[in-house]
Amino acid sequence: MAKNPAINCGANRLTPSSLWRGCRRMWIQSAFLLLWLDPLGLRLHNMCGPVFHCYACPLATFACPIGVLASFTALHIFPFIAVGLLVLAAAVFGSLVCGWACPFGFLQDLLGKIPTPRFDLPRWTAHLRYAVLIGAVFLVPYFFGKDHPLFVCRFCPAGGLEAAVPSMMSQALAGQQIVWPNALKLTILVLFLVAIFFMRRPWCRILCPLGAIFSLFNRVSVFFLRLNPDKCTHCERCHKLCQFGIEPEKSPNDLRCVRCLECTRCGPGALTLGSIFETSHSTNDMADHRSNCTGGY
Amino acid sequence: MVFSSRRKIIVSCVLVAAGAAALIYGVLFHSTNISPAQGTDSPASAKAEPALIKEVTVGGLERDASGQVKKTYTDKAPQACPT
């Protein structure tokens, strides 16, 4: 069973500042959600957004970068805009995008607040994301085109939830024949919806190809999770705060981290969000930290 | 892999510059020749990458057996992605 997350959205005494502090991430995620949901009806689908949001959704401001990468690969055209945007966003923010801006992650966070038993995933499952990225986003589209059932958009649950479900509902309301998505997409969508109630961010942790890209940049991004070994008391409170089974004081920029920054609420304040331009004697070199702790290995 | 402070700054800056360069090139300069859908006589035309992105979001482009990228529709673009 997963550790009990120490999220406390709100505080004992509700004041505006405590409400902001307690739910800061949720407020920021909501603000980004508003941006992605195209409130002005701009439909800027000739530009990618940096988050996982299906362009077939009736409320989508930008095109999904993963859909664009896969479609361009199927056409054998190099997607300069999608690659440039993703490299730029990942090099600056890394997985902060997943934790603070992604609408699909936000949806999973919100449903994750429903009190149900949560289970930890084996560590190896995080590597499945890279298999999805290489297989369903690049290899299958390149060799078999868009019609193959393993083309990423054909089984993506974000597409199922944000595009297929609204489309089926509008068809039903209009009295038209309902066009169902394919069996694989439906199965993954149902499994995903069930999994949300028993795991933290199942899509992000197991299958998300966009998260896989961002996580690769965690160790070199401009903003990163900084550990100050002098302040760390090894109380392991960060282990309890982390909902994803990571031990932040051992690997603060772990590939599985979505940078929700919950671990920065640890008592001693050893973990903080830092940037490469801040000078510090403890610039997050795990090897240094480990050698300080253990005498070196 | 462990990065020293200075190396990390260099790697980050190179990645940011590479990302920005690719983005600017894609927005301003990159284009691809698109053939019209089968059954039409109009010649192939170059489309800029932002227009290509808009086309793929509605499933408006496909690659045929000869390797040419062509439109999937003749007059009006599809309303939504077919997947």
Per-residue 3-state assignment (H helix, E strand, C coil) for chain A: CCCCCCCCCCCCCCCHHHHHHHCHHHHHHHHHHHHHCCCCCCCEEEEECCCCCCCCCCCCCEECHHHHHHHHHHHCCCCHHHHHHHHHHHHHHCCHHHHHCCHHHHHHHHHCCCCCCCCCCCHHHHHHHHHHHHHHHHHHHHHHCCCCCCCHHHHCHHHHHHHHHHHHHHHHHCCCCCCCCCHHHHHHHHHHHHHHCCCCCHHHHHHCHHHHHHHHCCCCCCEEEEECCCCCCCCCHHHHHCCCCCCCCCCCCCCCCCCCCHHHHCCCCCEEEEECCCCCCCCCCHHHHHHHHHCCC
Residue pairs spanning A and B at CB distance below 8 A: 132
Domains of chain A: 16-216 (no CATH), 224-294 (3.30.70)
What average pLDDT does this structure show over B43-57? 93
A136, A70 Cβ separation under 8 angstroms:
yes
Read off the pLDDT of residues B55-82 as tens digits, 9 standing for 90 and up: 999 989 999 888 899 998 887 777 767 7
**Which two structure tokens, joined as six digits, stand for A4?**
């009990």
Q: What's the pLDDT at A279?
A: 66
**H helix or E strand, kind and range, residue B9:** helix B5-28
* Amino acid in the structure at residue A141: P
A52, A121 Cβ separation under 8 angstroms:
no
**Which two structure tokens, joined as six digits, stand for A221?**
């991004």
Q: What's the pLDDT at A58?
A: 86
Contacts of B28 (CB under 8 A, 6+ apart): none
Q: What's the pLDDT at B81?
A: 72
Task: Kindly state whether B52 is in contact with chain A, defined as any CB-CB distance less than 8 angstroms.
Answer: yes
The Cα–Cα gap between B56 and B80 comes to 10
- The DSSP bridge pattern shows strands B31-34 and A271-275 to be unpaired
* Amino acid in the structure at residue A263: C
A88·B16 Cβ contact <8 A: yes
**SS3 (DSSP) at B71:** strand
Contacts of A29 (CB under 8 A, 6+ apart): A100, A101, A103, A105, A106, A109
Residue found under tokens 């407020």 = A27
**H helix or E strand, kind and range, residue B6:** helix B5-28
A119, A1 Cβ separation under 8 angstroms:
yes
A81·B63 Cβ contact <8 A: no
The Cα–Cα gap between A46 and B14 comes to 26
The Cα–Cα gap between A141 and A264 comes to 40
Q: What's the pLDDT at B9?
A: 92
Contacts of B13 (CB under 8 A, 6+ apart): none
The C-alpha of A13 sits at a distance from chain B's nearest C-alpha, in angstroms, of 42
The Cα–Cα gap between A296 and A6 comes to 32
Residue of B nearest to A150 (CA): B83
B24·A219 Cβ contact <8 A: no
pLDDT means over runs of 10, chain A (297 residues): 47 64 86 93 92 90 96 97 97 95 94 89 91 97 94 92 88 88 88 92 94 94 92 91 89 90 88 83 44 35
3-state secondary structure B14-70: HHHHHHHHHHHHHHHCCEEEEECCCCCCCCCEEEEHHHHHHHHCCCCEEECCCCCEE
**Which two structure tokens, joined as six digits, stand for B40?**
């039409």
The Cα–Cα gap between A114 and A127 comes to 27
Among B residues 21-50, those touching chain A with beta carbons less than 8 Å apart: 21-27, 30, 32, 49-50
Q: What's the pLDDT at A285?
A: 46
Tell me which chain B residues have a C-beta less than 8 angstroms from the C-beta of A217. 15
pTM over 0.90: no
